[in-house]
Amino acid sequence: MGGELNRVIAAHTPVGMWFELCVHMSHNPKGLVINYADASPPPALPRCAPPLREEAKMAYDPTAFYQSFLLVTPQEEQERLLLQAPYTLAPDGSGPVTEERPVVPAVANATETVIAVLNPSNNSGVSGQAIVQIDKAAGTVTLDVVASGLTPNEIHPQHIHGFDDDTPSLLPNITLDTDLDGFVEDPEGADVVGPVILSGTASGMVTNEELSDDFPTADASGNLRFHQEYQFDLTNPDEQAIFQNLQDRIAGREFQIHGLNVVDGQGAHSDYEVNGEGGYIPVLPVANGVFLPVVDPNTADAARLYVGLLDRAPDTEGLQSWANVLGNGASLSSVAQQFLDSPEYAQANPTPLTNIQFVDALYENALGREPEPAGQQAWVDLLAGGTSRADVAIGIAESQEAQQFFPIGVEQGWIIA
């Protein structure tokens, strides 16, 4: 996939601050420049149409998924970085790069499908993807992993990590290297990564054991292609607790693969796994990624209406219901109108909003900023000319700015079949 490059990405956050996010990129050698764009309407109503695809039940094609990442566009990479920012430790180690948007974990809970793009840890050169699908009714968790650059013919432990208090994990960085051996070992990253929730065992055994022989082995080329379904016994308190933990929050959980060869002398006199002895260290992290929701266009559209019009993250049942309505052929305008006619919207706005107030509220809710004068006036003029509030809500909440700078989830690499 090309040489790994360290890039510093400058991005505009919802609160109007700039941050620098150090990332590992295995493609797009020119890096990314994120330009701030507004939602000012062109002569036609702005509607950035999602890519066409068959819509129904989510199905995963690992080969197509893997190949799709070779074709990722700069905008798709940018959206992924913005999605990862709340789950990435800032370069100074002070906390997340930016605050989490509640809509993202809410969407993940509704879709029950998440992806983690795996980046190298500890200069391992490992990259890949991990996909989790949760079936709440069946009590199953399905895990697919595609990875390359691993130590050949060795067992590589892999886990889903996270915290019990709904705090998301953070992707670690070198600021956590307290023993200054050049590696971020498990104990050093524990405070931001969290303990093991579920081990990706080869047998399908449900456990959170960190080390055992029950993990997959990389092939002779250092590649891993892994698929397993974990069937939970929900009458078993331990298994029920693990399943509940994943069911309550799956976005922001971290996936790690472990196992790296180190040379003799590295980390000599340090405190943790790398201690100067060299050889294969099965517990040393070699790749990590944070789980983000995989969404179809209907789910993303409905979620943005919740944020733009109701100023809240969607509830699971409501989001699934509206996504199904759109999937069955209802227009987005008709769904937006039902949001505007809902008791919840009326209760939040007991005094009818003026056109200016309506536009201002959409900008604040959907884009996290005040409108620029020209954009505000353009939308107000459209309303005065007879354009419905439902269509204006779509124009702002579903605008290119909203989709580009406030992504709901990841669509890249998925087949809806």
Mean pLDDT, rounded, for 357-379? 96
Superfamily designation of domain 61-293: Superoxide dismutase, copper/zinc binding domain (2.60.40.200)
The rounded distance, in Å, linking the Cα atoms of 380 and 393 is 12
Amino acid at 157: P
**Tokens (6 digits) for 387:** 């354009």
The rounded distance, in Å, linking the Cα atoms of 272 and 416 is 45
Of 54-63, 100-109, 206-215, where does mean pLDDT reach its minimum?
A: 54-63
**Tokens (6 digits) for 65:** 């998924």
Find the helix or strand (DSSP H, E) in which 395 lies.
helix 389-397
Mean pLDDT, rounded, for 291-296? 94
**Residue ranges of the domains in the chain?**
61-293, 297-416
Q: With 0.85 as the threshold, say if the pTM is over it.
A: no
List the beta bridge partners of residue 352: none
Q: What is the pLDDT of residues 333-359, one digit of tens each?
A: 999 999 999 999 999 999 999 999 999
- Domain 297-416, architecture per CATH: Orthogonal Bundle (1.10)
The rounded distance, in Å, linking the Cα atoms of 132 and 253 is 11
Please tell me the predicted confidence (pLDDT) of residue 405: 80
Q: What is the pLDDT of residues 47-85, one digit of tens each?
A: 322 232 333 233 334 344 344 444 455 767 777 788 899
Please tell me the predicted confidence (pLDDT) of residue 93: 93
Give 170's contacts (C-beta < 8 A, 6+ positions apart): 87, 88, 89, 95, 96, 192, 193, 254, 290
